Chains A and B, each alone.
Chain A
Amino acid sequence: MQHTTTIKAGGSEKDYWKDLWKNKQLLLILSKRDISVRYKQTLLGVAWSVLRPIMTMTVMVFVFSYVAKLKGDEGIPYPLMVLCGITIWTFFANTFSQISSSILINSNLVSKVYFPRLLMPLSSVAVGFVDFLITLGIFLILTAFFHHPLSWNIVYLPAFLLLAFITSMGFGLFFAVLNVRFRDIGQLIPFIVQVGFYICPIAYSSRLAQGMWYEKYYNLNPMVGIIDGFKWCLLGDKAYFNPNSVYSTAIISVVILILSLIYFRKKENTFVDHI
């Protein structure tokens, strides 16, 4: 079995994607590592992954529906709408922050051993994904509790999840590269996530933005279309959703992902020089 490698400036090689595929084992093991060390040395252990989303949801629902008295779409229990938004938003926010810090967190690996660096952001989403499944489970239990019927729209759910993943990857990779060079990013990310929470239709419906002067800027945010779509999948046709927005959302997220990937590939071989 002959294996030839050429190392030169500025070129991660043409076999990169093949290399990445060959390392799928490592991807699996790194993901497993993140999941299994997550609740080590905690008293409640895995119970946290159920408790955390429940606690967040309780606070959010209480604040938005009872204190702020916001209204959602008609025919949908307001708490359910918030929970639905939180479910997908938390997935995005978690994976986005984990991807952004994935290179720095694994800096001991980056400086000592070679493998396609893309494995690190890829494996870092595992934890976010597991959390998402748990939150989704809780949400489904609560829909039963509110006697809200599920619709067939749910079959489109994986598509929106994939879009959310693509978007978090697109933004995350970009920030992951910047984070290696500028540690400011670490400070900025929680802020971005916080702002994002308010400019995305989580505690309110996108219906509110319709016809407003800022509507076209509002729709530029790929997460708007994704969250609307996600609500539409889980809450049925009564949830506000503009099917045309799917195309622009998909195009925007994919373009961002491609640009970030190019940027990442260009910089990945010199990460170690800045760590």
Chain B
Amino acid sequence: MAMSVITAENISKKYIIDHKHKTGGPSTFRDVVSDLFSRKSSHDYTEKEEFWALKDVNFTIDRGDRIGIVGHNGAGKSTLLKILSRITEPSTGQIKIDGRVASLLEVGTGFHPELTGRENIYLNGAILGMAKWEIKESFDAIVDFAGVEKFLDTPVKRYSSGMYVRLGFAIAAHLNPEILIVDEVLAVGDTEFQKKSLGKMRDVSESGKTLLFVSHNLTAIQALCNKSFYFEKGQLIDQGETTHIVTNYLSKVSHKKMERHWDDINQAPGNDQVRIKSFRLLAEYIDNLVHIDVRTPMNFQFEFWNMEEGANLNLSMHLYTFTGECIFNVGTESQQFGKGLVTGVCQIPGHFLNDGSYVVSMMIVKDTSTVVYNMEEALIFDIEDYRENVTWYGKWPGYIRPKLNFSIRQTEHLVND
């Protein structure tokens, strides 16, 4: 029997952005005092801009639904979770929730580094809303799940980051809410643990509880959720079956800017010696898809104007993960160029990089030793996951995911006499 457990009507959340201080956040009296005076001159109001993190969002969620929430960064997903978890309140609208909510926006919320694992289990459990007897009852299961028996009486500041995350998740996994809200917690921890935690989330979803799950791991969303919401610019623009929503979302994601060009040489980034004309990522899409997945071959094209006659130049490209680890650096040979446009192309084959977000930086080098110009974050792109014939949905480990000749065959038959 379908019964709505969450009903949201006209939810909006407004933030005021102060343009003098783009970070928003804390301000000082001085600003307020100076604002008081500047208000006299009428036009200063424009300095404050309203920003709607969520705008007129309506939805109902039935008991037992597992909802995946997808959207770009800044689409309002986290704001929605914060409102549902009562961390902040909506600017307008109303939400009715039937049932006990546990929200897991972070693992190990409130862990105190100086306290031991044991103390932190009680602290974190209480913060997440567990009663003392509930924590006591699941204590052994938590410790077992996290695998920290030996370190129970060690301050968590001495824990490895893996242990820390495992303990945090283990506590949260033993919450027993009717509605569970989870934000991107699977992005952490090692593969083994991710497998474990995905399994735990599946248990939750199969036990008839209501689940709301935000993740950039679309594979996990597809594995766990029966319905999905797609947010863009603070609005719920699509909802329905997960497969449908994810396809829709991916087709839009791939249109994100993987091309940058400057037509006016005087406005272009650069200096007296070189000016950038364009960066392009040209993907050879597979199966009529319009997004890059792990199979897609890519060409990176760089154009720049050389302003110095006879300069010896070469290009050097760095590929970074979104978190900033360098995966590789490749360079062209150095060559003499006349004044004018220079184009470089780098090919990255399909079946080479793992899924994830990547950042390309481009260096123009003179005489193989002097960096003339370095364009950080020249291009940013995502590679989506693609799997065939697998039943495992955790994050594929490693920065690269090459397709190598790797085969198995039976080399001997055991003969029963």
Contact = CB atoms under 8 A, between A and B. Distances in A.
A41 interface: yes
Nearest to A5: B97
B95 A8 contact: yes
Given A112-B106, A115-B127, A272-B88, A37 B115 contact: yes
B131 to A, nearest CB: 7
B28 A26 contact: no
B123 A29 contact: yes
The interface centre, meaning the residue of A26, A30, A40, A111 with most chain B CB atoms within 10 A of its CB, is A26
B119 to A, nearest CB: 7
A33 interface: yes
Interface residues of A, dominant DSSP? mixed
Interface in B307-365: none
A25 B377 CA distance: 49
Nearest to A2: B98
A40 B114 contact: yes
B91 interface: yes
Contacts of A36: 115, 119
A147 interface: no
B126 A7 contact: no
A137 interface: no
For chain A, the bracket of interface size reads: 35 or more
A274 B26 contact: yes
A271 B88 CA distance: 7
Nearest to A106: B110
A39 to B, nearest CB: 10
For chain B, the bracket of interface size reads: 35 or more
A111 B110 CA distance: 10
A25 B155 CA distance: 22
Contact of B29 (A41, A113, A182): A182
A113 B128 contact: yes
A29 B87 contact: no
A181 B28 CA distance: 8
B157 to A, nearest CB: 10
Given A9-B89, A29-B122, A109 B96 contact: no
Contacts of B89: 7-12, 269-270
B27 to A, nearest CB: 7
A115 B103 CA distance: 12
A33 B123 contact: yes
B99 interface: yes
B101 interface: yes
Given A25-B126, A29-B126, A37-B112, A110 B96 contact: no
Contacts of A114: 85-87, 103
Contacts of A106: 110
B126 A109 contact: no
Interface in B95-139: 95-101, 103, 105-106, 109-110, 112, 114-115, 119, 122-123, 126-129, 131-132
A184 interface: yes
Given A5-B96, A113-B103, A275 B86 contact: no
Contacts of B131: 25
B15 interface: yes
Contacts of B91: 9
A7 B86 contact: yes
Nearest to B86: A114
Contacts of A2: 98-99
A108 B109 CA distance: 7
A272 B98 CA distance: 24
B97 A4 contact: yes
Contacts of B29: 182, 184
9 contacts: A5-B96, A7-B90, A25-B131, A29-B126, A109-B109, A112-B110, A113-B105, A113-B127, A272-B87
Given A3-B98, A26-B127, A269-B86, 16 more contacts: A4-B97, A5-B97, A5-B101, A7-B84, A7-B86, A7-B89, A8-B90, A10-B89, A30-B126, A33-B119, A37-B112, A112-B110, A113-B103, A270-B88, A274-B25, A275-B25
Interface of A: 2-12, 25-26, 29-30, 33, 36-37, 40-41, 106, 108-115, 181-184, 269-275
